[in-house]
Amino acid sequence: MARKFFGTDGIRGRTNAGVMTAATAMKVGQAAGTYFQRGDHRHRVVIGKDTRLSGYMMESAMVAGFTSVGMDVVLLGPMPTPAVAMLTRSMRADLGVMISASHNPFEDNGIKLFGPDGYKLSDEAEFAIEAMLSQELPLADASQVGRARRIEDARGRYIHAVKGSLPDNVRLDGLRIVLDCANGAAYHVTPSALWELGAEVIAIGVEPNGKNINLNVGSTHLDAIKAKVRETRADIGIALDGDADRLIVVDEKSQTVDGDQIMALIGTQLAARGQLRGGGVVATVMSNLGLERYLNAHGLTLERTAVGDRYVLERMKAGGFNVGGEQSGHMILTDHATTGDGTVAALQVLSALVSSGKPASELLHQFDPVPQLLKNVRFAGGKPLEDSRVQETIAEAEARLAGKGRLVIRPSGTEPVIRVMAEGDDAAEIEAVVEQICAAVRKAA
Catalytic residues: 102
How far CA 95 is from CA of 48, 118, 172, in Å, comes to 12, 8, 35
Rounded to the nearest 10°, the torsion over CA 64, 126, 241, 46 is: 40
Say how far apart CA 319 and CA 163 lie, in whole Å. 27
**Angstrom distance (rounded) from CA 290 to CA 260:** 9
Burial 301-329 (b: 16+ CB within 10 A, else e): ebbbbebbbbbbbbbbeeeebbbbbbbbb
Distance CA 201, CA 31 (A): 43
Closest CA to 84 of 151, 17, 132: 151
Work out whether strand 6-7 and strand 10-14 pair parallel, antiparallel, or are unpaired.
antiparallel
> What is the spatial order of strands in the sheet that 301-305 belongs to?
301-305, 280-284, 323-325, 331-333
Query: Exposed (0-12), middle (13-18) or buried (19+): which is 98, by Cβ within 10 Å?
Result: buried
Instruction: Output the 3-class SS for 165-227.
Output: CCCCCCCCCCCEEEEECCCCCCCCHHHHHHHHCCCEEEEECCCCCCCCCCCCCCCCCCHHHHH
CA angle (309, 295, 270) in 5-degree steps:
75
- Determine contact, residues 263/312, Cβ cutoff 8 Å: no
Q: Are 325 and 144 in contact (CB under 8 A)?
A: no
Contact call for residues 60 and 68 (beta carbons, < 8 A): no
DSSP-H helix ranges across 321-384: 342-356, 360-363
Contacts of 251 (CB under 8 A, 6+ apart): 236, 237, 257, 359, 360, 361, 364
